[in-house]
Chains A and B, each alone.
Chain A
């Protein structure tokens, strides 16, 4: 028996989120006294076995199906291999793809799936802690299942190698998928930005209602450009039409985890906070010293962002 990690990748490029799934899977496997194994789906994922080994997989199962990512096809691969590999549990990271693929697999297997866990006590019956309200509340839950299927909340654990340079035994599995499973494969891609994004930038400069207008974001753009970061915003800003929704940081926008988040004129409503709290450090710039964002931040400057930001930019 083993704990099986479903590895997320994009056309052969490992998603960093998968490394968090390995850490979470190892914590479960240690409780059960079992090893971790990995599942790579897609012909283009063949090159990822060594990374899986370095992150603790003693065996790597590879299902080299053709074509790009598709939630139904990937879910069916897991559902087909589950009885063959008979793991003690299946783990992925709770990203868009991770949660979606496990949900499809669980639906096919008619088994429960618990999304966005932060802790597991594995015994005959698993006891889990999972997030609700985007991370504002925790739910203690009990899972009754012949095969526990869980995702770990993204950014809940830090990625960490298990044994650098380790190698794993790679096993290839040919999975015959039903024709219908290919109806939801990616058919095309539109590239909108080549550079830094909210999810990858080391610095995010975020603006809230206090920025006051679309033009007000010019000072945030200038500082972000100087620091090599990108601009984000709160829900109040997108609701006012000052920035596109793709810039929104929060429960219903992007969840960020930069080295530093500079939150300017943001009150810190929970919807925003849960999307920003994975930042390593937070600097709040606000006229109100009692603002939730200021109270929760690591650092704060009390003052008008239109005076503070240009002064920082000029060094």
Chain B
């Protein structure tokens, strides 16, 4: 089985996200970088599928040259091939990103053969466009369902059963392979790299490509911080002695019976 996982390098902010003075980006001066949480789980899933069914896993990312770090992290988990589409910036719009990923996947598949499963994160942690995976899958004519939290492959290897968590339980989709899915955090528990994995990541040959994809119709003007209605916190008391005040509040809100 050939599995591709697509990841995005994003800053790892702490308690507050700061914006650069020109409003064009998150100020990452003092921040480390990671991949989106959904994608950490997507990466683990790619490795698990290959462990269970044999084959090869490949990581693909688009962004700045430093995204090499995320490719190597993927290798430390067990992915064996990597492609970085270096576009020199992190600000590509969803249509442009999907076109560039589609081109990159076509070229990998021409060289190494088609992927059976392409895994995306449900949405990126930063821009959250909710569409790059879907656009890419449509362009490659692969069935695609987003928001997946459980996966199994049929015995004959022809169908991927995907489960989506909804309010009351799970929806079950059975996608003919080759297919694509967008997954959510919780589908797997990401492992930590082993010493052997860390060594392998150093030796990984990251294939660097470019892209001439044209911009799409959505253009970012600037980032800003939403106004938060700062409510003065009413302190109801300290410790168990505050319980009557809490019960009073619950009654006021009509939530005590």
- Residues in A lying within 8 Å of B, measured CB to CB: 10, 69, 71-72, 94, 96, 99-100, 103-104, 106-108, 111-116, 118, 127, 131-145, 151, 180, 183-194, 197, 199-200, 202-203, 227-228, 238, 244-246, 248, 251-253, 259-260, 269-270, 281, 283-284, 289, 292, 294-304, 307-308, 310-312, 314-315
Q: Is the CB of B147 within 8 A of A96?
A: yes
Cβ contacts under 8 Å, A106 to chain B = 131, 135
Could you tell me the distance in whole angstroms from the C-beta of B220 to the nearest C-beta in chain A? 5
Q: Is the CB of A292 within 8 A of B15?
A: yes
Segment with Cβ contacts to A, from B45-53, B71-79, B136-144, B195-203:
B136-144
Cβ contacts under 8 Å, A299 to chain B = 233-236, 246, 249
13 further A-B contacts with Cβ under 8 Å, apart from A72-B143, A227-B250, A227-B255, are A107-B135, A115-B123, A118-B226, A131-B128, A137-B19, A186-B173, A192-B168, A192-B170, A197-B168, A302-B242, A307-B240, A311-B242, A315-B247
Q: Is the CB of B128 within 8 A of A132?
A: yes
Q: Is the CB of A115 within 8 A of B236?
A: no
Candidates A186, A252, A314; contact of B171 at CB < 8 Å? A186
21 A-B residue pairs with CB within 8 Å:
A71-B144, A71-B146, A72-B143, A96-B146, A103-B135, A107-B131, A112-B218, A113-B94, A137-B224, A141-B220, A142-B221, A143-B219, A189-B169, A189-B172, A191-B169, A227-B255, A227-B256, A251-B37, A259-B253, A299-B236, A314-B243
Segment with Cβ contacts to A, from B57-65, B104-112, B159-167:
B159-167
Candidates A140, A200, A238; contact of B224 at CB < 8 Å? A140
Q: Is the CB of A302 within 8 A of B238?
A: yes
Closest residue on chain A to residue B137 by CB atoms: A107
Q: Number of B interface residues at 8 Å Cβ cutoff, please give it.
A: 81
Q: Is the CB of A138 within 8 A of B134?
A: no
Cβ contacts under 8 Å, B93 to chain A = 112
Residues of B contacting A: mostly:
mixed
Closest residue on chain B to residue A116 by CB atoms: B128
Closest residue on chain A to residue B254 by CB atoms: A259
Cβ contacts under 8 Å, B128 to chain A = 115-116, 131-134
Most B-side CB within 10 Å, residue of A69, A194, A246: A246
Q: Is the CB of A298 within 8 A of B233?
A: yes
Candidates B186, B233, B256; contact of A294 at CB < 8 Å? B233
Closest residue on chain B to residue A97 by CB atoms: B147
Q: How far is the CA of A303 from the CA of B242 in the complex (A)?
A: 9
Cβ contacts under 8 Å, B165 to chain A = 246
Cβ contacts under 8 Å, A186 to chain B = 171-173
Closest residue on chain B to residue A146 by CB atoms: B217
Closest residue on chain A to residue B169 by CB atoms: A192
Closest residue on chain B to residue A200 by CB atoms: B167
Cβ contacts under 8 Å, B164 to chain A = 96
Q: How far is the CA of A233 from the CA of B164 in the complex (A)?
A: 20
Assuming the contacts A191-B168, A192-B169, asked whether A138 and B226 have C-beta atoms less than 8 A apart, the reply is yes
Closest residue on chain B to residue A280 by CB atoms: B253
Residues of A contacting B: mostly:
mixed
Could you tell me the distance in whole angstroms from the C-beta of A96 to the nearest C-beta in chain B? 4
Judged by a CB distance under 8 angstroms, whether B125 is at the interface is yes
Cβ contacts under 8 Å, B237 to chain A = 301-303
Cβ contacts under 8 Å, A133 to chain B = 13, 17, 26, 125-126, 128
Q: Is the CB of B126 within 8 A of A307?
A: no
Judged by a CB distance under 8 angstroms, whether B152 is at the interface is no
Could you tell me the distance in whole angstroms from the C-beta of B96 to the nearest C-beta in chain A? 10
Q: Is the CB of A143 within 8 A of B171?
A: no
Cβ contacts under 8 Å, B234 to chain A = 298-300
Candidates B13, B185, B233, B242; contact of A308 at CB < 8 Å? B242
**Contact flags (1/0) for B204-225 with A, using CB distance below 8 Å?**
0000000000001111111111
Candidates A94, A248, A270; contact of B16 at CB < 8 Å? A270
What 10 A-B pairs come out closest when comparing CB atoms? A245-B186, A112-B217, A311-B243, A303-B239, A103-B131, A188-B172, A192-B169, A311-B240, A99-B130, A107-B138
Candidates B126, B167, B217, B242; contact of A199 at CB < 8 Å? B167
Judged by a CB distance under 8 angstroms, whether B231 is at the interface is yes
Candidates B37, B146, B226; contact of A100 at CB < 8 Å? B146
Cβ contacts under 8 Å, B130 to chain A = 94, 99-100, 103, 115-116, 151
Cβ contacts under 8 Å, B184 to chain A = 252
Judged by a CB distance under 8 angstroms, whether B2 is at the interface is no
Cβ contacts under 8 Å, A107 to chain B = 98, 131, 134-135, 138-139
Could you tell me the distance in whole angstroms from the C-beta of A202 to the nearest C-beta in chain B? 6
Most B-side CB within 10 Å, residue of A108, A227, A301: A301
Q: Is the CB of B169 within 8 A of A137?
A: no
Q: How far is the CA of A183 from the CA of B138 in the complex (A)?
A: 13
Q: How far is the CA of A161 from the CA of B179 in the complex (A)?
A: 41
Could you tell me the distance in whole angstroms from the C-beta of A299 to the nearest C-beta in chain B? 5
Q: Is the CB of A140 within 8 A of B172?
A: no
